Amino acid sequence: MRMFVSSVLAAAVFAIVVSFGAAAAPAARQRCHPSYPDFCIPHAPPDLDCPDVTGRKPFRVRHDVADPDPHGFDRDRDGSGCEPRPPRRRA
């Protein structure tokens, strides 16, 4: 699935560059936050939650960039965002 998404993303970036010229690619990258290398998720604001990026399985989150994970997708800082929450244990 990741390979498919990467291929689709690469095709989309290629289409942008071909349609608008090479100068459009850096502008498109600036709209995408570097914490989320697998998908183009914009900078905050607005603050996004996992349901706002529906259809996406857990994805990589980088914490070695300026202003890491502004949306808080990776609260446990393990490098994976929007992970399913483990079931609660009953006392």
Render pLDDT for 7-35 as a digit per residue (tens, 0 to 9).
444 444 444 433 333 444 444 556 899 99
Q: How many structural domains is the chain composed of?
A: 1
Under DSSP, is residue 42 helix (H, G, I), strand (E, B) or coil?
strand
Is 14 contained in some domain?
Answer: yes
Domain contains 88:
no
CB 81 within 8 A of CB 57: no
Whether 86 maps to a domain, the answer reads: no
The string of pLDDT tens digits covering residues 38-69 is 889 998 888 898 888 867 688 999 999 989 99
What are residue 32's DSSP bridge partners?
Answer: 42
In a domain, 91, yes or no: no
Do residues 28 and 9 touch, judged by C-beta distance below 8 A? Answer: no
Is the residue at 53 inside a domain? yes
- Structural domain of residue 53, as residue ranges? 2-81
Query: Are 28 and 73 within 8 A, CB to CB?
Result: no
Give the span between the Cα atoms of 50 and 56, in whole angstroms. Answer: 9
pTM of the model: 0.59
16 residue type, one letter: I
